[in-house]
A = this chain, B = another copy of it.
Amino acid sequence: MNDSDDSNDEVVTLAHGAGAGSMRALIDDLAVSRFADEDEPAADEVGLAALDDGSVHPLESGDGSVVHTTDSHVVSPPVFPGGDVGRLAVAGTVNDLAVMGATDPLGLTCSLIVQEGYPMSKLESVFESMQTACEEAGVRITTGDTKVMRSDEVDGPVINTAGVGVVPPGGAVTDAGLSPGDAVIVSGTVGDHGIALLSEREGFGFGGDLESDVAPVNDLVRAAMDAGSVTAMKDPTRGGLATTLNEIAEKSGVGLELDEQSIPIDDAIASAGEVLGIDPLSVANEGKAVLGVDADDADAVLEAIRAHPTGSDAAIVGHATADHTGRVVLDTGFGRRYLSEPEGEVLPRIC
Protein backbone atom coordinates (compact mmCIF):
# COMPACT_ATOMS: atom_id res chain seq x y z
CA MET A 1 0.00 0.00 0.00
CA ASN A 2 1.21 3.51 -0.78
CA ASP A 3 1.38 5.39 2.48
CA SER A 4 3.13 8.46 1.03
CA ASP A 5 0.10 10.63 1.77
CA ASP A 6 0.68 9.89 5.42
CA SER A 7 4.31 10.93 5.47
CA ASN A 8 3.56 13.89 7.74
CA ASP A 9 1.11 11.95 9.83
CA GLU A 10 1.60 10.97 13.44
CA VAL A 11 2.38 7.27 13.66
CA VAL A 12 2.24 4.47 16.21
CA THR A 13 5.47 4.04 18.21
CA LEU A 14 6.75 1.24 20.44
CA ALA A 15 6.08 3.49 23.46
CA HIS A 16 2.35 3.22 22.66
CA GLY A 17 2.61 -0.43 23.69
CA ALA A 18 4.76 0.00 26.77
CA GLY A 19 2.04 0.13 29.41
CA ALA A 20 2.64 3.64 30.77
CA GLY A 21 1.57 7.18 29.92
CA SER A 22 1.89 7.05 26.11
CA MET A 23 -0.20 3.92 25.98
CA ARG A 24 -2.87 5.37 28.23
CA ALA A 25 -2.99 8.51 26.06
CA LEU A 26 -3.47 6.36 22.97
CA ILE A 27 -6.23 4.33 24.63
CA ASP A 28 -7.92 7.51 25.84
CA ASP A 29 -7.82 8.97 22.37
CA LEU A 30 -8.83 5.87 20.39
CA ALA A 31 -11.17 4.07 22.73
CA VAL A 32 -12.21 5.79 25.95
CA SER A 33 -13.37 8.91 24.08
CA ARG A 34 -15.57 6.73 21.88
CA PHE A 35 -16.80 3.84 23.97
CA ALA A 36 -16.82 4.84 27.63
CA ASP A 37 -20.23 5.31 29.21
CA GLU A 38 -20.70 8.97 30.12
CA ASP A 39 -23.16 8.09 32.85
CA GLU A 40 -21.92 7.53 36.37
CA PRO A 41 -21.24 3.77 36.68
CA ALA A 42 -23.80 1.74 38.61
CA ALA A 43 -22.80 0.19 41.93
CA ASP A 44 -20.45 -2.74 41.25
CA GLU A 45 -19.99 -1.65 37.62
CA VAL A 46 -16.51 -1.17 36.12
CA GLY A 47 -16.35 0.08 32.53
CA LEU A 48 -13.75 1.17 30.03
CA ALA A 49 -13.11 4.58 31.59
CA ALA A 50 -11.73 2.88 34.72
CA LEU A 51 -8.92 1.31 32.65
CA ASP A 52 -8.76 -1.47 35.21
CA ASP A 53 -7.63 -5.06 34.57
CA GLY A 54 -11.09 -5.95 33.28
CA SER A 55 -14.72 -4.89 33.18
CA VAL A 56 -17.43 -5.70 35.72
CA HIS A 57 -21.08 -6.08 34.68
CA PRO A 58 -23.74 -6.38 37.40
CA LEU A 59 -26.27 -9.14 36.65
CA GLU A 60 -29.89 -8.00 36.36
CA SER A 61 -30.86 -10.69 38.84
CA GLY A 62 -28.80 -8.94 41.52
CA ASP A 63 -26.87 -12.15 42.14
CA GLY A 64 -23.46 -10.66 41.52
CA SER A 65 -21.48 -9.48 38.54
CA VAL A 66 -19.79 -10.85 35.45
CA VAL A 67 -16.07 -10.00 35.22
CA HIS A 68 -14.51 -9.94 31.75
CA THR A 69 -10.92 -9.40 30.61
CA THR A 70 -8.64 -9.91 27.61
CA ASP A 71 -4.98 -9.85 26.63
CA SER A 72 -3.14 -10.58 23.39
CA HIS A 73 0.20 -12.25 24.00
CA VAL A 74 2.94 -11.42 21.50
CA VAL A 75 5.99 -12.32 23.59
CA SER A 76 9.27 -12.80 21.73
CA PRO A 77 10.88 -15.30 21.79
CA PRO A 78 7.75 -17.47 22.19
CA VAL A 79 9.71 -19.88 24.40
CA PHE A 80 11.72 -18.22 27.19
CA PRO A 81 13.35 -19.32 30.46
CA GLY A 82 10.56 -20.38 32.80
CA GLY A 83 7.73 -20.44 30.31
CA ASP A 84 6.34 -19.78 26.86
CA VAL A 85 3.58 -17.83 25.14
CA GLY A 86 1.05 -20.54 26.01
CA ARG A 87 1.70 -20.47 29.74
CA LEU A 88 1.77 -16.66 29.60
CA ALA A 89 -1.58 -16.52 27.78
CA VAL A 90 -3.33 -18.59 30.43
CA ALA A 91 -1.64 -16.94 33.43
CA GLY A 92 -2.10 -13.42 32.06
CA THR A 93 -5.85 -13.70 31.79
CA VAL A 94 -6.40 -15.82 34.89
CA ASN A 95 -4.43 -13.19 36.83
CA ASP A 96 -6.37 -10.24 35.43
CA LEU A 97 -9.59 -11.95 36.53
CA ALA A 98 -8.11 -12.83 39.93
CA VAL A 99 -7.04 -9.28 40.76
CA MET A 100 -10.61 -8.15 39.96
CA GLY A 101 -11.78 -10.68 42.57
CA ALA A 102 -12.86 -13.43 40.15
CA THR A 103 -10.64 -16.28 41.33
CA ASP A 104 -12.77 -19.10 39.82
CA PRO A 105 -13.08 -18.38 36.08
CA LEU A 106 -16.06 -19.81 34.20
CA GLY A 107 -13.80 -20.28 31.20
CA LEU A 108 -11.12 -18.84 28.95
CA THR A 109 -11.17 -18.24 25.21
CA CYS A 110 -8.11 -19.03 23.11
CA SER A 111 -7.69 -17.16 19.86
CA LEU A 112 -4.62 -18.36 18.02
CA ILE A 113 -2.84 -16.55 15.19
CA VAL A 114 0.01 -18.54 13.69
CA GLN A 115 2.06 -18.30 10.51
CA GLU A 116 2.06 -20.75 7.62
CA GLY A 117 5.02 -23.10 7.96
CA TYR A 118 5.21 -22.99 11.75
CA PRO A 119 6.28 -26.43 13.00
CA MET A 120 3.33 -28.36 14.39
CA SER A 121 5.53 -29.86 17.13
CA LYS A 122 6.28 -26.38 18.48
CA LEU A 123 2.61 -25.47 18.39
CA GLU A 124 1.79 -28.70 20.25
CA SER A 125 4.33 -27.71 22.88
CA VAL A 126 2.71 -24.30 23.35
CA PHE A 127 -0.68 -25.93 23.87
CA GLU A 128 0.87 -28.43 26.26
CA SER A 129 2.00 -25.45 28.34
CA MET A 130 -1.47 -23.97 28.20
CA GLN A 131 -2.88 -27.24 29.47
CA THR A 132 -0.47 -27.33 32.41
CA ALA A 133 -1.23 -23.73 33.33
CA CYS A 134 -4.98 -24.38 33.04
CA GLU A 135 -4.65 -27.34 35.40
CA GLU A 136 -2.73 -25.19 37.90
CA ALA A 137 -5.42 -22.53 37.73
CA GLY A 138 -8.36 -24.94 37.71
CA VAL A 139 -9.77 -23.47 34.52
CA ARG A 140 -10.65 -24.68 31.02
CA ILE A 141 -10.40 -23.24 27.52
CA THR A 142 -14.06 -23.30 26.50
CA THR A 143 -14.13 -21.58 23.10
CA GLY A 144 -11.70 -20.12 20.60
CA ASP A 145 -10.67 -19.07 17.13
CA THR A 146 -7.85 -19.96 14.74
CA LYS A 147 -6.28 -17.78 12.08
CA VAL A 148 -3.33 -18.54 9.79
CA MET A 149 -1.27 -15.73 8.21
CA ARG A 150 1.70 -15.96 5.87
CA SER A 151 5.11 -16.14 7.50
CA ASP A 152 5.94 -12.62 6.28
CA GLU A 153 2.72 -11.31 7.81
CA VAL A 154 3.10 -12.31 11.46
CA ASP A 155 5.89 -13.39 13.77
CA GLY A 156 3.78 -15.68 15.94
CA PRO A 157 2.34 -17.60 17.53
CA VAL A 158 0.21 -14.78 18.90
CA ILE A 159 -2.38 -15.92 21.42
CA ASN A 160 -5.28 -13.87 22.70
CA THR A 161 -7.09 -15.12 25.76
CA ALA A 162 -10.22 -13.60 27.21
CA GLY A 163 -11.62 -14.72 30.52
CA VAL A 164 -14.98 -14.57 32.21
CA GLY A 165 -15.90 -15.06 35.84
CA VAL A 166 -18.65 -14.21 38.31
CA VAL A 167 -18.22 -12.43 41.65
CA PRO A 168 -20.84 -12.10 44.40
CA PRO A 169 -22.50 -8.71 44.99
CA GLY A 170 -19.80 -6.28 46.16
CA GLY A 171 -17.15 -8.89 45.40
CA ALA A 172 -15.27 -7.10 42.62
CA VAL A 173 -11.92 -5.58 43.63
CA THR A 174 -10.64 -2.60 41.64
CA ASP A 175 -7.35 -0.73 41.50
CA ALA A 176 -9.04 2.38 42.92
CA GLY A 177 -10.08 1.20 46.38
CA LEU A 178 -7.03 1.97 48.51
CA SER A 179 -7.56 4.18 51.60
CA PRO A 180 -4.98 5.99 53.76
CA GLY A 181 -3.56 3.55 56.28
CA ASP A 182 -4.05 0.46 54.10
CA ALA A 183 -1.01 -1.79 53.83
CA VAL A 184 0.49 -2.68 50.44
CA ILE A 185 1.57 -6.30 49.97
CA VAL A 186 3.43 -7.81 47.01
CA SER A 187 2.97 -11.55 46.70
CA GLY A 188 6.64 -12.33 45.89
CA THR A 189 9.82 -11.19 44.17
CA VAL A 190 9.50 -8.53 41.48
CA GLY A 191 11.18 -8.08 38.10
CA ASP A 192 11.67 -11.77 37.32
CA HIS A 193 9.73 -11.99 34.06
CA GLY A 194 11.06 -8.84 32.45
CA ILE A 195 14.67 -9.37 33.39
CA ALA A 196 14.73 -13.08 32.54
CA LEU A 197 13.22 -12.33 29.15
CA LEU A 198 15.53 -9.43 28.39
CA SER A 199 18.57 -11.42 29.45
CA GLU A 200 17.56 -14.22 27.11
CA ARG A 201 16.87 -11.80 24.27
CA GLU A 202 20.17 -9.94 24.71
CA GLY A 203 22.08 -13.21 24.83
CA PHE A 204 23.23 -12.93 28.44
CA GLY A 205 23.22 -16.34 30.03
CA PHE A 206 23.81 -15.37 33.66
CA GLY A 207 24.46 -19.01 34.42
CA GLY A 208 20.93 -19.99 33.42
CA ASP A 209 19.51 -19.20 36.84
CA LEU A 210 17.11 -16.49 35.70
CA GLU A 211 13.54 -17.56 35.13
CA SER A 212 10.28 -15.82 34.44
CA ASP A 213 7.78 -16.02 37.29
CA VAL A 214 4.90 -16.67 34.86
CA ALA A 215 2.18 -18.53 36.80
CA PRO A 216 -1.50 -18.28 37.69
CA VAL A 217 -2.05 -16.40 40.99
CA ASN A 218 -5.77 -17.04 41.41
CA ASP A 219 -5.36 -19.65 44.13
CA LEU A 220 -3.02 -17.36 46.10
CA VAL A 221 -5.41 -14.42 45.68
CA ARG A 222 -8.30 -16.57 46.88
CA ALA A 223 -6.32 -17.42 50.02
CA ALA A 224 -5.56 -13.74 50.58
CA MET A 225 -9.18 -12.65 50.15
CA ASP A 226 -10.32 -15.38 52.55
CA ALA A 227 -7.90 -14.07 55.20
CA GLY A 228 -8.92 -10.41 55.33
CA SER A 229 -10.27 -7.32 53.65
CA VAL A 230 -8.52 -6.71 50.32
CA THR A 231 -9.30 -3.13 49.25
CA ALA A 232 -7.42 -2.91 45.93
CA MET A 233 -5.54 -5.30 43.65
CA LYS A 234 -3.56 -5.28 40.44
CA ASP A 235 -1.05 -7.55 38.74
CA PRO A 236 2.20 -5.70 38.05
CA THR A 237 2.71 -6.59 34.38
CA ARG A 238 3.93 -4.07 31.76
CA GLY A 239 5.73 -1.20 33.48
CA GLY A 240 6.23 -3.36 36.56
CA LEU A 241 5.63 -2.52 40.21
CA ALA A 242 6.42 1.16 39.62
CA THR A 243 3.66 1.66 37.04
CA THR A 244 1.18 -0.46 39.00
CA LEU A 245 1.68 1.46 42.25
CA ASN A 246 1.46 4.83 40.50
CA GLU A 247 -1.83 3.76 38.92
CA ILE A 248 -3.25 2.52 42.21
CA ALA A 249 -2.20 5.73 43.98
CA GLU A 250 -3.64 7.98 41.30
CA LYS A 251 -6.93 6.10 40.89
CA SER A 252 -7.42 5.67 44.64
CA GLY A 253 -6.60 9.31 45.36
CA VAL A 254 -3.98 8.43 47.97
CA GLY A 255 -0.24 8.65 48.32
CA LEU A 256 1.96 5.62 48.79
CA GLU A 257 5.04 5.28 50.98
CA LEU A 258 7.29 2.36 50.11
CA ASP A 259 10.19 0.90 52.02
CA GLU A 260 12.67 -0.13 49.32
CA GLN A 261 14.51 -2.60 51.56
CA SER A 262 11.33 -4.58 52.10
CA ILE A 263 10.59 -5.10 48.38
CA PRO A 264 11.47 -8.73 47.59
CA ILE A 265 13.93 -9.02 44.69
CA ASP A 266 15.79 -12.19 43.80
CA ASP A 267 19.59 -11.69 44.06
CA ALA A 268 20.28 -13.04 40.58
CA ILE A 269 17.55 -10.81 39.11
CA ALA A 270 18.98 -7.78 40.90
CA SER A 271 22.49 -8.51 39.59
CA ALA A 272 21.26 -9.08 36.04
CA GLY A 273 19.22 -5.89 36.27
CA GLU A 274 22.37 -3.96 37.09
CA VAL A 275 24.26 -5.48 34.16
CA LEU A 276 21.38 -4.78 31.78
CA GLY A 277 20.74 -1.32 33.23
CA ILE A 278 17.14 -2.21 34.02
CA ASP A 279 15.35 -1.52 37.29
CA PRO A 280 13.49 -4.64 38.52
CA LEU A 281 10.77 -2.32 39.84
CA SER A 282 10.03 -1.15 36.28
CA VAL A 283 9.68 -4.38 34.33
CA ALA A 284 6.88 -6.90 33.93
CA ASN A 285 5.95 -9.62 36.37
CA GLU A 286 3.63 -12.40 35.23
CA GLY A 287 2.99 -14.36 38.41
CA LYS A 288 2.55 -11.73 41.10
CA ALA A 289 -0.21 -9.67 42.67
CA VAL A 290 -0.09 -6.31 44.43
CA LEU A 291 -2.70 -6.09 47.16
CA GLY A 292 -4.00 -3.20 49.23
CA VAL A 293 -5.20 -4.53 52.55
CA ASP A 294 -7.00 -3.03 55.53
CA ALA A 295 -4.26 -2.33 58.11
CA ASP A 296 -5.98 -4.48 60.76
CA ASP A 297 -5.92 -7.47 58.42
CA ALA A 298 -2.45 -6.96 56.95
CA ASP A 299 -0.63 -9.51 59.08
CA ALA A 300 -3.31 -12.16 58.60
CA VAL A 301 -3.37 -11.67 54.82
CA LEU A 302 0.42 -11.71 54.63
CA GLU A 303 0.50 -14.91 56.64
CA ALA A 304 -2.08 -16.54 54.35
CA ILE A 305 -0.10 -15.55 51.26
CA ARG A 306 3.19 -16.78 52.74
CA ALA A 307 1.56 -20.09 53.59
CA HIS A 308 0.71 -20.53 49.90
CA PRO A 309 3.22 -22.59 47.87
CA THR A 310 3.87 -19.63 45.53
CA GLY A 311 3.82 -16.89 48.18
CA SER A 312 6.77 -17.55 50.48
CA ASP A 313 8.57 -14.32 49.47
CA ALA A 314 5.53 -12.08 50.01
CA ALA A 315 6.07 -8.89 51.99
CA ILE A 316 4.38 -5.76 53.25
CA VAL A 317 6.23 -3.11 51.25
CA GLY A 318 4.51 0.07 52.31
CA HIS A 319 1.26 1.79 53.10
CA ALA A 320 -1.16 4.39 51.77
CA THR A 321 -1.21 7.95 53.09
CA ALA A 322 -3.40 11.03 52.75
CA ASP A 323 -0.32 13.01 51.69
CA HIS A 324 1.23 13.49 48.21
CA THR A 325 -1.90 12.18 46.52
CA GLY A 326 -1.31 10.14 43.38
CA ARG A 327 2.44 9.82 44.00
CA VAL A 328 4.63 6.99 45.22
CA VAL A 329 7.42 7.89 47.65
CA LEU A 330 10.29 5.42 47.90
CA ASP A 331 12.32 5.36 51.10
CA THR A 332 15.66 3.97 49.95
CA GLY A 333 17.21 3.84 53.41
CA PHE A 334 19.45 6.76 52.45
CA GLY A 335 16.69 9.18 51.58
CA ARG A 336 13.33 9.56 49.94
CA ARG A 337 12.42 10.02 46.27
CA TYR A 338 9.41 9.69 44.06
CA LEU A 339 9.14 6.36 42.27
CA SER A 340 8.04 7.31 38.75
CA GLU A 341 6.60 5.32 35.90
CA PRO A 342 9.25 4.06 33.45
CA GLU A 343 7.92 6.17 30.58
CA GLY A 344 11.07 6.33 28.52
CA GLU A 345 11.93 2.65 28.76
CA VAL A 346 10.47 0.66 25.90
CA LEU A 347 10.58 -3.11 26.07
CA PRO A 348 8.48 -4.41 23.19
CA ARG A 349 6.96 -7.88 23.09
CA ILE A 350 7.68 -8.60 26.74
CA CYS A 351 4.22 -10.17 27.16
Contacts and interface: CB of A to CB of B under 8 A. Distances in A.
A186 to B, nearest CB: 23
A59 B57 contact: no
Number of this chain's copies in the complex: 2
Contact of A118 (B11, B54, B64, B71): B11
Interface string A18-31: 10000100110111
A7 to B, nearest CB: 9
A248 B162 CA distance: 26
Specify which of A10, A128, A141, A348 lies most central, judged by the most chain B CB atoms within 10 Å of its CB. Answer: A141
B164 A68 contact: yes
Nearest to A65: B106
A86 to B, nearest CB: 10
Contact of A59 (B37, B140, B154, B166): B166
Contacts of A63: 59, 61, 63
B166 A66 contact: yes
A74 B150 contact: no
Contacts of A115: 12
A156 to B, nearest CB: 9
A43 to B, nearest CB: 16
Nearest to A6: B119
A111 B160 contact: yes
Given A119-B9, A127-B34, A147 B74 contact: yes
Contacts of A55: 107, 109, 142-143
Main secondary structure of the interface of A (DSSP, over half): mixed
A48 B140 contact: yes
A13 B123 CA distance: 13
A313 interface: no
Contacts of A224: none
A30 B119 CA distance: 13
B11 A158 contact: no
Interface string A135-166: 00000111111111110111100101010101
Given A16-B148, A37-B140, A155-B153, A124 B30 contact: yes
Contact of A155 (B12, B37, B69, B149): B149
Contacts of A27: 144, 146
A77 B145 contact: no
Interface centre among A14, A23, A30, A57 (most CB of B within 10 A): A30
A72 interface: yes
Contact of A123 (B12, B77, B121, B150): B12
Given A31-B127, A57-B106, A349-B149, A14 B47 contact: no
Closest 8 CB pairs of A and B: A17-B148, A162-B162, A70-B109, A55-B142, A35-B141, A6-B119, A55-B143, A61-B63
Interface of A: 1, 3, 6, 9-14, 16-18, 23, 26-27, 29-31, 34-37, 47-48, 52, 54-55, 57, 59-61, 63-64, 66, 68-72, 74, 76-77, 106-107, 109-124, 127-128, 130-131, 134, 140-150, 152-155, 158, 160, 162, 164, 166, 348-349
9 contacts: A12-B119, A12-B120, A30-B112, A47-B107, A61-B63, A72-B145, A74-B149, A111-B162, A149-B348
